[in-house]
Structure 1
Amino acid sequence: MEEAVAHCVAALGAVAGRDWTTVRAGRLDWSCRDTAVHVAGDLISYAGQLAGRAQDAYVPFDITLDGGDGLDPADNGGVLQVIATTGALLAAAVRTTPRAVRAFHPYPFRHANREGFAAMGVAEVLLHTHDMAEGLGVAYEPPAGLCAFVLTRIFPQVRPGPAPWPTLLWATGRGELPGREPVTAWRWSNNPVLRSERLTLEGVTPAVAADLSVAGDGGFTWAGGAPADGTRVGSGITVKQYEDGAFAPEWGMYVLVRREDDRAVGAMGFHGVPDAEGRVEIGYDLVVDARGNGYATEALRTLSAWALGQEAADTVVAVVEEGNVPSQKVVTRAGFTEVDRREGRITYELRA
């Protein structure tokens, strides 16, 4: 967050002496001054959501920029100082908020975690600094790592391009990419989350999947110390889907987190979006230390019920090896019925 703000202040500080109120910010309908105030307002709002643990709506407060006497408006240098300050407050809120906390944000699932708020804050700074710089005629290009941070956390549906910054500009209707149609409408997407009796099913972002696929922990504390091999394999599949532009967040992988101690006990997810017949396949894996507690059955019931509540799906499919008796018990306890048995594999279905 601080890095994004520092680049913003450096780029715009060079033209702080100009009149921002009469210059349009790039393709926006706002002036550069209005856009800068908007950035400061978003940063303090996100910090307030996290610090206040808001659950149902935005914390009802606003920010006013004045010159210190309560009467005269702040000059452009003062506005940049406010952006730096509100950015620091958001960074502090992100660092001090526990991993499992989610606070209200309207799109798309009415909540976001600390990483989501950080990505949204960075996106606001990068994109609106671009808008203002474009309007004021100054050069601006943020570090690629910041752009990738935003893309892999709140733009999971966007296929990576040749470089992160042009891709982010294209994804938000601010630029073009060879071979892709212009974007005229866009929204970012925080990760989905479902809750069962004892577990929180946290949707995996491309960033988390990439870390899990290369022996990382994905930001989770795992029961037993590390995720199961199947989780790493599934994460690799998720990364490939993202790279191919075929990743759909709600129909991806979910990490199963035990709420009583915030320990990850396994992962479960779909192999992709439902097919034309409304069929979607599901798979799962638990760490050894968490098996035998009914977690897989509980999560399977929850995720399957969610899937069958969507218009696109009417059948959830699970394929289990004939020798995997514990997994067979999981699917049958979750209400699945055997429909086929061949080549050492059993196919189960759960219909709407």
Structure 2
Amino acid sequence: MSTEQPAVRFVRLPPPVLEALLAGDLAAARTATGIPLSKWFLSDEVTWLWRMRLDQIAGDPASADWIVRAAVSVPDGVVVGAGGFHGPPDSAGMVEMGYSTDPAYRRRGYAKAMVTELLRWAAGEESVVTVRASISPQNVASLATIAGFGFEHVGEQWDEEDGTEFLYERPARPA
């Protein structure tokens, strides 16, 4: 088994793809993206996200450049999950990242690869100052995923769907 950290690239999921996924049309979504999206993209675990992001884009078309994308492993081209930001940077230059790994590819380093790529993306955007992650205290896997990336615990918040979340932040471009 290789000890090398996997790498991912992100592929946009524009509104027609999100609509196809919500309609259960995986073939159309695959054709539109040019990548082999898995059946996980039609699962209850993520379809709520497609609806939320589609509504978000309708209200703020500029958010489409920032939100959820398919995570494709490099160099083999397997779609291993999804990641992106919750939206464009706020007035203070903060973006909140989110990521999820297809259960078939968990515990292989892909979540860390997504965090690596999200941080690279944020660092390349002049308007981004701070990257945030909000994680349930019970989500041990996600807490372990961000360890080693320089995030600091800065507080907590109440999320209507997830309950208590710990807030972690780090500079987009550490000194």
Q: TM-score band, normalised by the shorter chain?
A: 0.7 to 0.9
- Residues 255 and 266 in structure 1, CA contact (< 8 A), matched pair in contact too: yes
Report whether the alignment pairs 1:347 with 2:167: yes
Report whether the alignment pairs 1:226 with 2:40: yes
Change (3 A) 1:247 1:234: farther
Change (3 A) 1:328 1:279: same
The Cα shift of 1:286 comes to 1.0
Q: Which ranges of structure 1 fall in alignment gaps of 5 or more residues? A: 1-195
**1:338 paired residue among 153, 158, 163:** 153
Q: How does 1:1-352 map to 2 (within 5 A)?
A: 198-217=7-26, 218-219=29-30, 220-222=35-37, 225-227=39-41, 229-341=44-156, 344-351=164-171, 352=173
Change (3 A) 1:198 1:312: same
For residues 56-80 of structure 1, the C-alpha deviation after alignment (integer angstroms, 9 at most, x for no partner) is: xxxxxxxxxxxxxxxxxxxxxxxxx
For residues 99-145 of structure 1, the C-alpha deviation after alignment (integer angstroms, 9 at most, x for no partner) is: xxxxxxxxxxxxxxxxxxxxxxxxxxxxxxxxxxxxxxxxxxxxxxx
Query: SS of the residue aligned with 1:326?
Result: helix
- Aligned partner of 1:55 in structure 2 is none
Residue correspondences, number: 156
The Cα shift of 1:327 comes to 0.7
The Cα shift of 1:309 comes to 2.5
For residues 243-301 of structure 1, the C-alpha deviation after alignment (integer angstroms, 9 at most, x for no partner) is: 22434333121100123443211101111111101111111111111100111111111
Query: SS of the residue aligned with 2:114?
Result: helix
* Separation of aligned partners in 1, 2:125 and 2:76: 31
Structure with more helix by fraction:
1
Percent identity over paired residues? 27
- TM-score normalized by structure 1? 0.41
The Cα shift of 1:230 comes to 4.4
Q: Which ranges of structure 2 fall in alignment gaps of 5 or more residues? A: 159-163
* Separation of aligned partners in 1, 2:169 and 2:45: 21
- Residues 199 and 258 in structure 1, CA contact (< 8 A), matched pair in contact too: yes
After the TM superposition, list the runs of 4 or more consecutive aligned residues in structure 1 that deviate by more than 6 angstroms. Answer: none
* Separation of aligned partners in 2, 1:308 and 1:230: 29
* Separation of aligned partners in 1, 2:120 and 2:90: 17
Between 1 and 2, higher relative CO (CA 8 Å, sep ≥ 6) is seen in 2
Structure with more strand by fraction:
2
The Cα shift of 1:315 comes to 0.5
Change (3 A) 1:328 1:231: same
The Cα shift of 1:216 comes to 3.5
Amino acid at match of 1:205: P
Cα-Cα RMSD: 2.2
Query: SS of the residue aligned with 1:275?
Result: coil
